Amino acid sequence: MPSEAKILKDLKKFGLTPNQAKIYLTLLQQGGLTAKQVSILSGVPESKVYDLLHQLEEAKWIDVESSRPVKFTAKPPSDVIKSLKNKKIIELDALEKTLIEELEPIYLKKNQAEKPDIWILRGEEKLLLKLKEMISKAEKNILIALPLILPGIQEILFPVIQTAKLKGINTVIVIPKTEADKIVDKIKTVSDVITVEQLFGGGVIVDQKEVLIILYEPLLGIWSDHAGLAQVAAGYFNYSWGKKTS
């Protein structure tokens, strides 16, 4: 048989205070007792016994006999423990539902914020609109590489690059020498234009956070806000013209 100390320890694990555990065990061992008898046999001061007996009655651990003097008896342990277990299960089920409803949106919001998007853009119109949107949101630098100068692209680029320049944002346009004569002078007033012998890739990188890779045959773009991809792309373009952006 387990020791009294172990039984008291186990009762405390089920939510009883040390004195409540002593009172319940005393009643279990001795049967019906008055409050004074409970105090003497359990060692709990009489000044505390009445409140503790009332608490145990409310918690369904003991019964109160309608006798004179009033006596207290312990309820069967199997009934008490099973009832408390079922109550805890119900409380935990309710808490589980509440916490999931409260916390899941926070987790999903964070997860979505960290999950990068990848879009496929087909056709010149969609490409130019996305390019314009990216440049409009720039905060630090813009790198544009154009193996081919698309018709109308400079008219789209000029106003947004001009606005970026007024904000102190540095813009660099890299083109192959074969396309140099297609760059109009007004573009050169708002952006650095660098010519290279060959340019094997085209695209736009903004703040090394967003990248739009442009493919020409067929014409389509691959956009992503994956910072790692943008940094790799920036490294490639920087290498291709021998200069780094900050």
pLDDT-based confidence at residue 239 (cuts at 50, 70, 90):
low
Kindly report, residue by residue over 82-120, the tens digit of the pLDDT: 888 888 889 888 888 888 888 888 777 765 555 567 788
Residue where the block lists tokens 């790198």: 143
User: Please, are residues 171 and 131 in contact by the beta-carbon 8 Å criterion?
Assistant: no
Output the pLDDT for position 244: 41
DSSP class per residue in 46-101: HHHHHHHHHHHHHTTSEEEE--SS-EEEEPPHHHHHHHHHHHHHHHHHHHHHHHHH
State pTM to two decimals: 0.49
Token couple for 109: 């919001």
- Domains of the chain, each with CATH number or no CATH: 4-75 (1.10.10.10), 118-241 (3.30.870.10)
Helix (H/G/I), strand (E/B), else coil: 237:
helix
DSSP class per residue in 130-184: HHHHHHHT-SSEEEEE-SS--TTHHHHHHHHHHHHHHTT-EEEEEEEGGGGGGS-
Kindly report, residue by residue over 136-169, the tens digit of the pLDDT: 888 888 888 888 887 778 888 888 888 988 989 8
Cis before residue 69, ω within 30 degrees of 0? yes
Residue 20: DSSP 8-state: H
Helix (H/G/I), strand (E/B), else coil: 43:
coil
d(CA 34, CA 50): 10
Token couple for 51: 């409140």
d(CA 163, CA 187): 12
- pLDDT averaged over every residue in the chain: 84
Mean pLDDT, residues 31-43:
92
